[in-house]
């Protein structure tokens, strides 16, 4: 049995034909609604399997919850939301583990399968590729703005189905193409994950700021003074690797460092097929799919913002 790690997952090579992917992820409540919390957390956990080109098979609930403080009805709704997403993924919920904790947290330990010859990583992008992003950016600031009262629930609720959407459809469409590299966008923000792909691939990446899909109200919340605890460390992570001549400063630039919960896939595909793939993704319901940049021969710094 071989073993390796890729992104946030462990990969066990059982044979020339099958590898097992194992991953664990959980989050604190992004929203007050327990059903949406469960859906978003489960989609977030399942995403690691899709980012490697795999298919989820089993999942275990991971629950940290204060039953005396919040009550079992809320917990039931969290678990119901998570179970909906596991079923939608075609996987089986096989049990789980719970801990009495003051702060609620929920997620899944997921096991999936993939052909060892078809594992996707964040280190295979090639010069001449285009980058496609499949979900908008901005969940970090929007969730915080809801907590602080700057964003009403009526403005946040319409985006939740997209946030909680599985990356399953995006992957299934993408697998019909020659995908050189793939990762999902999570807490490091778009620039953090682009930097990982650039460094892992030994390539430079040009990112088009105006092409980035962004959730409604996200930039507006930054302009109103909202932020997240991850923006500063995410910015510091890419300092020294980022070059830009654009006049993007202050609030508008913060979307580049916004941490994502249940973010989309970042796909590196030959540029000659990128428009076709983006069109196929949108036709399949991945409405935000956008070409956001290109891979170039390695230059310093690793990312150029255009």
Q: Which residues pair with 23 in a beta bridge?
A: 110
Tokens of 38: 């469960």
- Return the ∠ at Cα 150 (arms to 167 and 247), rounded to 5°: 75
Q: Of the residues 118, 142, 169, which one is the last residue of a structural domain?
A: 118
Instruction: Check residue 4 and give its pLDDT.
Output: 46
Q: How far is CA 241 from CA 252, 297, 300, in A?
A: 20, 15, 7
Tell whether 61 is covered by a domain: yes
304 in Cβ contact with 205 (< 8 Å)? yes
What SS3 class is residue 74? helix
26 in Cβ contact with 41 (< 8 Å)? yes
- Say yes or no: 154 and 55 in one domain: no
Tell whether 106 is covered by a domain: yes
Query: Domain of 146: which CATH number?
Result: 3.90.650.10
Instruction: Check residue 232 and give its pLDDT.
Output: 94
Q: Of the residues 118, 145, 167, which one is the last residue of a structural domain?
A: 118
Neighbour count for residue 109 (Cβ, 10 Å) = 19
Instruction: Check residue 225 and give its pLDDT.
Output: 95
- Say yes or no: 69 and 208 in one domain: no
- Say yes or no: 102 and 185 in one domain: no
- Say yes or no: 92 and 177 in one domain: no
- Say yes or no: 136 and 243 in one domain: yes
- Say yes or no: 14 and 58 in one domain: yes
Q: What is the pLDDT of residues 7-22, one digit of tens each?
A: 567 888 888 888 999 9
Instruction: Check residue 249 and give its pLDDT.
Output: 67
117 in Cβ contact with 284 (< 8 Å)? no
What SS3 class is residue 286? coil
Among 107, 5, 96, CA closest to 47:
107
The mean per-residue pLDDT over the stretch 89-100 comes to: 94
Specify the pairing of strand 92-100 against strand 242-244. unpaired
Q: For residue 95, give the H/E element and its range.
A: strand 92-100
Structural domain span for residue 77:
2-118
- Say yes or no: 100 and 137 in one domain: no
Span between the terminal Cα atoms of the chain, in Å? 45
215 in Cβ contact with 192 (< 8 Å)? no
Give CA–CA dist 201/128, Å, rounded. Answer: 13
How many domains does the chain contain in total? 2
- Say yes or no: 135 and 280 in one domain: yes
Tell whether 162 is covered by a domain: yes
Predicted confidence (pLDDT) at residue 119 exceeds the cutoff of 70: yes
Query: Domain of 101: which CATH number?
Result: 3.30.1330.10
The mean per-residue pLDDT over the stretch 235-247 comes to: 85
Please, which pLDDT band fits residue 244 given cuts at 50, 70 and 90?
Answer: confident
Instruction: Check residue 228 and give its pLDDT.
Output: 96
- Say yes or no: 206 and 93 in one domain: no
- Say yes or no: 93 and 214 in one domain: no
Q: Phi and psi dihedrals of 295, rounded to 5?
A: -100, 135
Instruction: Check residue 212 and give its pLDDT.
Output: 97
Instruction: Check residue 247 and give its pLDDT.
Output: 63
Write down the mean pLDDT value for the chain. 93
Please, which pLDDT band fits residue 1 given cuts at 50, 70 and 90?
Answer: very low
Instruction: Check residue 243 and give its pLDDT.
Output: 87
- Say yes or no: 92 and 16 in one domain: yes
Specify the pairing of strand 92-100 against strand 203-207. unpaired
Tokens of 195: 């930097």
Tell whether 124 is covered by a domain: no
Instruction: Check residue 236 and give its pLDDT.
Output: 94
Predicted confidence (pLDDT) at residue 24 exceeds the cutoff of 50: yes
Tell whether 261 is covered by a domain: yes
Instruction: Check residue 14 and give its pLDDT.
Output: 81
The mean per-residue pLDDT over the stretch 107-118 comes to: 95
Instruction: Check residue 10 and give its pLDDT.
Output: 83
Predicted confidence (pLDDT) at residue 64 exceeds the cutoff of 50: yes
Give CA–CA dist 44/59, Å, rounded. Answer: 13
| Sign of the Cα pseudo-torsion (34, 39, 45, 48, in order) | negative
- Say yes or no: 248 and 134 in one domain: yes
Q: What is the pLDDT of residues 185-215, one digit of tens each?
A: 999 999 999 999 999 999 999 999 999 999 9
Q: Of the residues 84, 118, 152, which one is the last residue of a structural domain?
A: 118
Tell whether 123 is covered by a domain: no
């Amino acid at each position: 049995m071989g073993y390796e790690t890729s992104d946030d997952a462990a990969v066990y090579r059982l044979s020339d034909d099958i590898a097992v992917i194992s991953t664990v992820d959980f989050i604190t409540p992004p929203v007050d609604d327990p059903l949406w919390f469960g859906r978003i957390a489960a989609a977030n956990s399942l995403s690691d399997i899709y980012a490697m080109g795999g298919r989820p098979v089993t999942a275990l609930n991971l629950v940290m919850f204060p039953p005396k403080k919040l009550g079992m009805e809320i917990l039931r709704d969290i678990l119901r939301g998570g179970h909906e997403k596991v079923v939608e993924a075609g996987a089986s919920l096989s049990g789980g583990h719970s801990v009495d904790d003051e702060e609620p947290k929920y997620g899944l330990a997921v096991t999936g399968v993939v052909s060892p010859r078809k594992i996707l990583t964040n280190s295979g992008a090639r010069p001449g590729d285009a980058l496609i992003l499949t979900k908008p950016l901005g969940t970090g600031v929007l969730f915080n703005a809801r907590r602080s009262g700057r964003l009403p629930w009526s403005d946040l609720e319409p985006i939740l189905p997209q946030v909680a959407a599985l990356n399953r459809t995006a992957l299934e469409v993408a697998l019909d193409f020659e995908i050189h590299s793939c990762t999902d966008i999570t807490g490091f923000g778009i620039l953090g994950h682009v930097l990982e792909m650039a460094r892992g691939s030994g390539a430079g990446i040009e990112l088009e700021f105006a092409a980035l899909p962004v959730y409604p109200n996200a930039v507006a919340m930054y302009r109103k003074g909202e932020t997240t605890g991850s923006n500063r460390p995410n910015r510091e992570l890419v300092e020294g690797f980022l070059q830009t001549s654009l006049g993007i400063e202050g609030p508008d630039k913060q979307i580049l460092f916004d941490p994502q919960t249940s973010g989309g896939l970042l796909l590196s595909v030959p540029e000659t097929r990128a428009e076709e793939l983006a069109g196929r993704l949108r036709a399949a319901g991945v409405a935000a799919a956008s070409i956001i940049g290109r891979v170039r021969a390695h230059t310093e710094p690793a990312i150029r913002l255009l």
